[in-house]
Amino acid sequence: MCEVFSWNWSGIIPSITGMITVYIAYLALTSWKKQHKSQRVTKFLDELTDSIHELVQCINVPTQHLMMIHIGLESYKYNTDLNKELAYPEAVSFIEKEGKEYSERLNETLESCEKTVHKLRSLLVKGQVYGIKNYNDCQNSCNKIIWQFDRLQVVSIILGNRNRNWEHPKVIKQIKTLLEINPESIGDYLNENQKEFMKFVKNAYENEYSNA
């Protein structure tokens, strides 16, 4: 007990106070860093969500054009001058007679979506630096939404090239792809992956602020 009283408290107390001050400052800095990260992640997720919504709305217009394309394709089934020796005679006749016109119209509507697509792709790369939990789920759902834009571009390209060897296996495969890309398929992919994306965003917000 006497030894305790003999300690140099005038030097010890300032040292203890200093350590406590450093510890409090460390806690404050750590808290600030977490809050700052959460704010950055929130801003990123908000921007990403807005861009996804914008692209989905934008794709609605070319999807309507796609519907008209399929109506046109369907109407050619009743043509009497079809080359029945071809794998897809109706589609070939439609492409030869009206493909270029429909391709140009579709491409015009897709051009208005390009800026949003480029922004989304850039954001998805940027998001990798934040270390967001299950970020792969976000990338997958967003890329599948972007893929619908890519699929519509494929339709435009196939329609616009009417001078080909229609019996070539690669050309036949392209026409098959054209017929498989329909408004229902586009809509299903958009709806399903929008839901997956929003599920990810909800979980990301919860994880971020529960750890803040």
| DSSP per-residue string spanning 174-201 | HHHHHHH--HHHHHHHHHHHHHHHHHHH
Overall size of the chain counted in residues: 212
* 57 located within any domain: yes
* 87 located within any domain: yes
CA distance 148 to 166: 26
* 16 located within any domain: no
pLDDT for the residue numbered 196: 97
pLDDT in tens, 147-195: 999 999 999 999 999 889 999 999 999 999 999 999 999 999 999 999 9
pLDDT for the residue numbered 38: 75
pLDDT for the residue numbered 69: 97
* 32 located within any domain: no
* 111 located within any domain: yes
* 196 located within any domain: yes
* 157 located within any domain: yes
pLDDT for the residue numbered 145: 98
User: What value does the mean pLDDT of the chain take?
Assistant: 87
Q: How many domains does the chain have?
A: 1
Q: What is the DSSP letter of 159?
A: H
| DSSP per-residue string spanning 37-77 | HHHHHHHHHHHHHHHHHHHHHHHHHHHHHHHHHHHHHHHGG
Euclidean distance between the first and the last CA atom of the chain, given in angstroms as a whole number: 45
* 131 located within any domain: yes
pLDDT for the residue numbered 12: 58
Nearest to 107 by CA among 69, 156, 155: 156
Low-confidence ranges of the chain (pLDDT < 70): 1-37, 209, 211-212
Domain of 190, in residue numbers: 44-210
pTM listed for this prediction: 0.81
**DSSP H or E segment with residue 96:** none
